[in-house]
Structure 1
Amino acid sequence: MNTLHASWFYWAVGVALGFPAMVILLTELHHALVRRNSRMARQVSLLRNYLLPLGSLLLLVVNAAQVPAGDPLVRILSTVFGFLVLVLLLSGLNATVFESAPEDSWRKRLPTIFLDAARFALIGIGLTLILSYIWGVRVGGLFTALGVTSVVIGLMLQNSVGQIVSGLFMLFEQPFRINDWIDTSTARGRIVEVNWRAVHIETGSGTRITPNSVLASQPFTNLSRPAGTYKVSMKTTFSLGDPPERVCAMLTRAASALPQLKPGSEPRSVPIGNGEYSTSIRLNSPADDGAARSTFLRWIWYSSRREELHLDNADDDYSSRERVEHALRTVVAPVLRLGLADQQSLHSSARIVRYGADEIVEYAGQVPAGMTFLIAGRVRLTAVDSDGAVAEISTLEAGSFLGLTALTRQPNLASAHALEEVTALELDREHVENLVMREPLLLQDFGQVLEERQSKVRQAGRGERVG
């Protein structure tokens, strides 16, 4: 009867019954979280495997065995238990607040320096409670000693502390976030990390480590703010004899076809004097700057030569008489069934042009001015399906031709772009019509090819698979 009325008896029975019940409950919870791929499964495992057994042991030692709280064994077990609770809180806070944060939320954009500060604060509070309640340390005196020590350490490490303070003030203002693009006097790139001492900027040639104190003391440009407003301006030089309107139209047309161009925006090219032109292009992101520049400069090299403009005052003599004669003999003559006399009659109206990789050869909705015969390279025909996606129609190899709708005065139903550098021979509509009218069989063949291509475009428009 005395045993039943003893307080230690109820503690022992409670631990003996409650411990296995809690183990079963936490095991089931852990399995459920694992099946859901939850980030909290690790914390539940820590609670089941370490905190629950150690807490049960402490209850038995202190309440059932009635060992005094000041006993070294109890203090050691309590200290370990406190550390485990601290670890559980840190990992749980990280898993619930930051690791599960959506990509566009403030929690995901929060710099790591603030996460480190929160962890240090939580660790400091936990250690203070452990020292005060378990070991009986006078925390007030400890804080006084730490305050004096921190002053001495601050004087010794004033440069490093200055960088930390500068970084804190700058980050409180939040002039940039992770993944923003900035332009400083020493680096230009994307921010990948912000810590206590420095900002890590990923450039094209590596990661630039810039101290916080340097960024806080000098101006810099955040290229990502406001979002969607980044634009690049490129200068080009043409001959003074080139008509400015034609040059601006060519530059604008090339810029409008760039894949990096921000949807809904329109490039603008203007002459700035002395044969120079400036083209402004709005991009989706500063990350597209390099690709947009290189593609634009590559495309206008080809485009300026096709339109007989003189980029960098250079002349183009690629369409020589020998190349034209060879192309007419080997590519055009088999297609149009030309004799030697017909080939010679076309010398004055034919010319050889070149296109850069990914450059548009023909636009959908455009009425071609003539036919284009491929001498080298490949061209892909594409159309837009019912869902707005680009569908491939076919790929044309060397020896094939484009611009059949020039004969019917109809706009193209498909676009054509070069898969690599393409060399082609162009013939005016008038000369091709004269040749076709004398060859009824050739006209019939062209009609079949045109109908086949248009049929494939209609299939793609309905979302059907084009064979």
Structure 2
Amino acid sequence: MNVLSTPWFYWAVAIAIGLPVGLIILTELHNSLVRRQSHLARQVSLLRNYLLPLGALLLLLVKASQIPAGDGTVRILTTLFGFLVLVLLLSALNATVFQSAPEDSWRKRLPTIFLDVARFALIGVGLAMILSYVWGVRVGGIFTALGVTSVVIGLMLQNSVGQIVSGLFMLFEQPFRIDDWLDTPTARGRVVEVNWRAVHIETGTGLRITPNSMLATTSFTNLSRPGGSHKCTITTKFALADAPNKVCAMLTRVAAGLPQLKSGTMPETVALGGGEYRTTVRLRSPADDGVAQATFLPWVWYAARREELHLDEADDEFSTSDRVQDALRTMVGPELRLSLTEQQSLVPYARVVRYGADEIVQHAGVVPKGMAFIIAGSVRLTATAEDGSVIPIGTLNQGAFLGVTALTRQPNPAGAVAVEEMTALEIDREHLERVVMNKPMLLQELGRLIDERQSKARRVGHRERVG
């Protein structure tokens, strides 16, 4: 009998050629995916190491060796092959749809409970097909038996099953997603995980596990919806003698400098009566709530004392005559070459003030009302690029001064932010002019300093545009 006319010959040749070629192709593909750090590298490895050799073995047994498909060994190998295909499908689905998803996409925020449901459904369909086509089992009878069994199990596990069903109904409605902020009767925080039984909420004190059945039967607030609408409300109290308009203006100005403030919005402050004031700030995220309050309250403490207001009805006696005279003698006098008489003439018009860490000391583009001489601490000079980003351009330490353009009526070339608590001596422009206008050498030095800071701010802005 001619071997070329036998049916097994072509199958044997195809397997002998196809298996090595397939292994080579899959090996090269796997190496390429590993270099690109692709999530599909593991799936290609599974296909190369297990599925392809096992598929070739089954073809060799059934087609080349003519072993019946109903043979026990063939059935076992076919069942193993089906399981591997099922594993490959599950792994590939997870890698392509979810692992490679962008951080802000719906696929990344999809609760894990939906993934579990999809996996169980795919596993159930796969097992049913294996039992039906490989082993000849009547799947309909199994499903009927499972239906009766599930009723019995459901009665036995009413609480657990109830939580699962409650979780499914609630999540199908999609009242929240992963990374949303919730305010529930028992916890306030960010949703980090949703599973069959409970929702995991990350709070400031730890991870709070809230059963799905509890969330399904109680009301809660999703602080992240609609997006960008979260407000932080802070209440402060001042002395009744403080002018309400002045207090509201100060609180609004301080809140407008918060780094957590949502772009394009402005804070609002209203007087509640009895010395209480409420400041409302729109934030970028509920996650900024605690940080915004922790920043705002210390800044208000410093700003109230600079504005001679009485936060919590407290008086401030920091700027004493002795402190002013000492600062004029040790800091201002040597820098501006002031005589003792000139120093004494400035005492009634100078005061010692303090700024909190990260508080804005000077705004760029604003004409200052006076000069400030740094007594303690340091400030960071900043420039604003065309895209609105703030870029540090230098640091001023003890002995340096700000607001030099007050004498020339020019806007500040750079902004200034306190690095830590900073103490400064402030002198109004009109009183300082009387002293320094008769010092031409000093005015020339101040002019060079203004040009230097303006040039540095322009260089930084130009470098950002070129970059």
Cα deviations by residue, 1:367-390 (Å, 9 ceiling, x for unpaired): 222111100010122122355443
Alignment of 1:302-317 (within 5 A): 302-317=302-317
Matched to 1:55, the amino acid is G
Cα deviations by residue, 1:164-199 (Å, 9 ceiling, x for unpaired): 000000000000011111111111111111111111
Q: Distance in 1 between matches of 2:68 and 2:416?
A: 87
Q: Distance in 1 between matches of 2:279 and 2:460?
A: 35
Cα deviations by residue, 1:297-324 (Å, 9 ceiling, x for unpaired): 1111100000000111111111122222
Q: Is the 8 A contact 2:372 2:427 kept in 1?
A: yes
Deviation, structure 1 residue 464? 7.8
Deviation, structure 1 residue 154? 1.1
Cα deviations by residue, 1:400-441 (Å, 9 ceiling, x for unpaired): 111111111222121111111000111121221121133333
Matched to 1:105, the amino acid is S
- SS of the residue aligned with 2:358? coil
Asked if residue 463 in structure 1 is aligned to residue 463 in structure 2, the reply is: yes
- SS of the residue aligned with 1:207? strand
Distance 1:9 1:393, change over 3 A: closer
Matched to 1:194, the amino acid is V
Match of 1:429 in 2: 429
Matched to 2:293, the amino acid is R
Gaps of 5+ in 1: none
Matched to 2:191, the amino acid is I
Alignment of 1:199-210 (within 5 A): 199-210=199-210
Match of 2:185 in 1: 185
Gaps of 5+ in 2: none
Deviation, structure 1 residue 2? 5.0
Q: Distance in 2 between matches of 1:356 and 1:300?
A: 9
Q: Is the 8 A contact 1:386 1:462 kept in 2?
A: no
Distance 1:446 1:105, change over 3 A: closer
Deviation, structure 1 residue 279? 0.8
Match of 2:331 in 1: 331
Alignment of 1:101-112 (within 5 A): 101-112=101-112
Q: Is the 8 A contact 1:54 1:81 kept in 2?
A: yes
Distance 1:420 1:87, change over 3 A: same
Cα deviations by residue, 1:219-241 (Å, 9 ceiling, x for unpaired): 10111111111111111111110
Asked if residue 18 in structure 1 is aligned to residue 18 in structure 2, the reply is: yes
Number of aligned pairs? 465
Alignment of 1:277-426 (within 5 A): 277-386=277-386, 388-426=388-426
Q: Is the 8 A contact 1:358 1:418 kept in 2?
A: yes
Q: TM-score, normalised by structure 2?
A: 0.95
Matched to 2:121, the amino acid is A
- SS of the residue aligned with 1:259? coil
Deviation, structure 1 residue 359? 0.8
Q: Distance in 2 between matches of 1:100 and 1:119?
A: 18
Deviation, structure 1 residue 443? 2.4
Matched to 1:120, the amino acid is F
Match of 2:275 in 1: 275
Match of 1:219 in 2: 219
Distance 1:84 1:242, change over 3 A: same
Match of 1:83 in 2: 83
Q: Distance in 2 between matches of 1:232 and 1:130?
A: 58
Q: Is the 8 A contact 1:267 1:282 kept in 2?
A: yes
Q: Is the 8 A contact 1:352 1:423 kept in 2?
A: yes
Q: Is the 8 A contact 2:346 2:432 kept in 1?
A: no
Q: Distance in 2 between matches of 1:310 and 1:433?
A: 31
Asked if residue 141 in structure 1 is aligned to residue 141 in structure 2, the reply is: yes
Greater shift in the superposed pair: 116-125 or 128-137: 128-137
Q: TM-score, normalised by structure 1?
A: 0.95
